[in-house]
Amino acid sequence: MILFLSFILFIHHVNTLHVTHISDCGTARGCWKLPNGCKDASDCQTMMTWKHERRHLIIEIESKLVKPDMWLGIGFSKDSLMGNDTVFECQFPATGSGSVYLSHNTAKRNIVLKTASQLLIRDGFTEFNDGKAMCGGEWILDNIHLDSTERTLMHVISSGRYNLFFAYGKMENGEKRMHGMVGKEAPWKSQEQVRFCQRCSSSFANVDSVAADEFKKL
């Protein structure tokens, strides 16, 4: 009986582990790997993948740059500047469980969209594995059920083209602090715009980025 229970617990533990499916990059998934030219978890600092499942976008992120009591976020912007962006973010507090949210960037601050996060994020996860922060979930690409306030703060990313931003920073007392602006702590930005429509081939692009040290020159 004890052996049987141990086996069940082991199976449950295995099922909760997540991986980033970079083997599908360019075919079934779009990928953004940092820094430019890195191939996999052995030499990449951060990797993000996305894949369409009907009207959902499955997002996977892993990063060696993020530790406990930190956050990371992927911003979707219609221009090359931060501000008026939709953000898929993950929070890794020092204690307790982490969380996945949708949020909105203004030019000066970030606003967590609580209703959108509850209604549009499914099976969100955060974890640390082998020195890497890992998170993701299914993002339902349909804003129709949101109230008018939150709906106006979210891009319909299944339509149009978007620049991507990757940023991370510290948390204090459960609250996000602003990311750095120069050097290694500055955000990264994609060199090209990306589409997230279900049937367009550019959804499966391998995206290059502007180095963090170059961000201040934008």
Helices (H) and strands (E) in the chain, counts: 3, 15
Q: Is the pLDDT of residue 53 over 90?
A: no
120: domain CATH number?
A: 2.60.40
Cβ atoms of 90 and 98 closer than 8 Å: yes
Tell me the pLDDT band of 61, cut-offs 50, 70 and 90: very high
Q: What are phi and psi of 214, to 5 degrees?
A: -90, -10
Tell me the pLDDT band of 197, cut-offs 50, 70 and 90: confident
Flag whether 155 is in a domain: yes
Class of residue 31 by CB neighbours under 10 A (exposed 0-12, middle 13-18, buried 19+): buried
CA–CA gap between residue 146 and residue 124 (Å, rounded): 19
Higher pLDDT, 96 or 1: 96
Out of 18-32, 84-98, 138-152, 175-189, pick the least confident.
18-32
Flag whether 4 is in a domain: no
| Predicted pLDDT at 120 | 97
| Predicted pLDDT at 18 | 62
Flag whether 11 is in a domain: no
Flag whether 61 is in a domain: yes
Class of residue 213 by CB neighbours under 10 A (exposed 0-12, middle 13-18, buried 19+): exposed
Tokens matching residue 70: 């930190």
Boundaries of domain holding 112: 20-217
Number of structural domains the chain divides into: 1
Q: Is the pLDDT of residue 212 over 70?
A: no
| Predicted pLDDT at 202 | 59
Q: What are phi and psi of 65, to 5 degrees?
A: -85, -15
SS3 state of residue 68: coil
Tell me the pLDDT band of 203, cut-offs 50, 70 and 90: low
Flag whether 122 is in a domain: yes
| Predicted pLDDT at 75 | 96
Flag whether 1 is in a domain: no
Q: What angle do CA 164, 97, 92 make, to 5 degrees?
A: 35
Instruction: Report the predicted TM-score, pTM, of the whole model to 2 decimal places.
Output: 0.85
| Greatest C-alpha distance within the chain | 64
Tell me the pLDDT band of 201, cut-offs 50, 70 and 90: low
Flag whether 111 is in a domain: yes
Average pLDDT over residues 159-168: 94
Q: Is the pLDDT of residue 160 over 60?
A: yes
Strand partners, 70: 92, 170
Out of 147-151, 164-168, 178-182, pick the least confident.
178-182
Flag whether 12 is in a domain: no
